[in-house]
Amino acid sequence: MRARLALLYLALATPALGQSPAAKPMERDPFIRYGKWLTAGATAAFTLMAARQHDHSHRAWNELLDMCRSASDACARGSDGTYIRFEAEALYQRSLGYDRRANRRLLGAQASLLATAVLFILDLRGHTGGGPDNIPFSPIRVTVDPTRDGALVGMRIAF
């Protein structure tokens, strides 16, 4: 886990290491600008797929419970821990399979969420000026300029 965090920190800090304070800001990369939305969509898609797989697993598990409640020997287990009845074992394995699929999809959702966060941070780092260029209205701008006698504070309100 620490290695992953170290790699993430290194990936985020590397472009800034060679820049001086007066360096020209990064140009906005279309991969970063639009990729963040693609990965956000992938996060939602993986989460929905995981929820669907979980529902399938829950359904198979409930079928197994219904079978076990129907007869006392329906869910008897052998010495190796498997169900003696083939149908009960098949339902149990189906439930486990759907759970594994749901777990993999949740891991995919978490990875794409991490990628989305990184791309949003990288996109914010590429902006010049007071804020992102896709916000059309900036109502208040406060400036502070040093003078001989102190500081000159100004406020501009746009309508």
In a domain, 148, yes or no: no
Largest CA distance in the chain: 93
What stretches in the chain show pLDDT beneath 50?
Answer: 5-10, 13-14, 16-25
DSSP 74: T
Distance CA(135)–CA(105), nearest Å, equals: 34
Residue 141 has a pLDDT of: 78
Distance CA(62)–CA(60), nearest Å, equals: 5
Residue 117 has a pLDDT of: 93
In one-letter notation, the amino acid at residue 145 is D
Structural domain boundaries, residue 35: 27-127
Domain count, the chain: 1
For residue 35, the tally of other CB atoms under 10 A from its CB is 17
Q: Is the pTM of this model over 0.75?
A: no
Which tokens go with 14? 């590397």
Residue 101 has a pLDDT of: 97
In a domain, 8, yes or no: no
Residue 99 has a pLDDT of: 97
Residue 10 has a pLDDT of: 46
Residue 4 has a pLDDT of: 55
